[in-house]
Amino acid sequence: MSSSRKTVVFAVLLALCLPVFYFSFRFAMADIAAYSVIYAIEDMDKGKAQMSLDDIESAERKVDSALGWWPNNAEYVELKARLELYRAIIGYGTPVFLSSIQNALALHEEAILLRPHWPYSWASRSLVKAYSGELDAAYFEGFKKASQLGPWELSVNLSLLEAGLIGWQQLDSETSSLVIAAAERGAEHRPNLIAELLDRYGMKYPVCARMSRGEQQVKACL
């Protein structure tokens, strides 16, 4: 093969590979920006560490950077929504609460549109709805969707349980059964976290009375 032909072949191969390298680089940079936020939220879910307002703002900057590298990524949009909910909880009773709740709800809606089979967004949207007092059709829909799509994900079960505890008095029998099932599944992984939620909302008796009596479930109800 002549040197000129080799040059042409090399140029063609380079042109074909450049888009792959470009997108791989963008995805890698996005993951680097977001990975610490993912672990911080996982620690929050497991009760290992709480996030301060400064932590939330720092994490939000990282998620915004990740979205800059990889726009319309449902996981990153979901992360940002979770951070908005944490900000709302810290700002409960202030104007920050309402604005952050509205932001979180809009972001969860966006994440659901981007990835409708992602259980976390369905469960989290129901939780945000519960905090805002909007126990509407979307609130109830989230229990069904999340239970179908991610029944054994701990964060999904924790979100469904808390959303159900907040709106317990307005639940129909089908939804209350889904909440009990989420409590049972969550107890299989972290009975202490289930017990903490039941205690926080003063709901240990009505929920535990309907839960199965497996070893982990009993731990959650002590």
Residue-wise pLDDT for 120-171, tens only, equals 999 999 999 999 999 999 999 999 999 999 999 999 999 999 999 999 999 9
Burial class (CB in 10 A: 0-12, 13-18, 19+), 96: middle
Q: Is the pLDDT of residue 17 over 60?
A: no
Q: Is the pLDDT of residue 5 over 50?
A: yes
Percent of the chain residues topping a pLDDT of 70: 86
Higher pLDDT, 84 or 20: 84
What lies within 8 Å, CB to CB, of 179 at 6+ separation is: 143, 160, 161, 163, 164, 165, 168, 171, 207
How many Å separate Cα 66 from the centre of its chain? 16
Dihedral of CA atoms 24, 29, 33, 37 in degrees, nearest 10, equals: 10
- Report DSSP letters for 79-109, one per residue: HHHHHHHHHHHHTTTSHHHHHHHHHHHHHHH
Q: Is the pLDDT of residue 55 over 80?
A: yes
Output the pLDDT for position 9.
47
Output the pLDDT for position 39.
83
Percent of the chain residues topping a pLDDT of 90: 68
Output the pLDDT for position 21.
52
Q: Quickly state the pLDDT bin for 172 (edges 50, 70, 90).
A: very high
Single-letter amino acid, residue 55:
D
Lowest mean pLDDT among 26-30, 35-39, 94-98: 26-30
Lowest mean pLDDT among 37-41, 59-63, 136-140, 213-217: 37-41
Output the pLDDT for position 92.
87
Lowest mean pLDDT among 32-41, 77-86, 145-154, 175-184: 32-41
Output the pLDDT for position 14.
45
Interatomic CA distance for residues 114 and 49, integer angstroms = 29
Higher pLDDT, 195 or 35: 195
Reported pTM: 0.85
Higher pLDDT, 26 or 94: 94
Q: Is the pLDDT of residue 22 over 50?
A: no
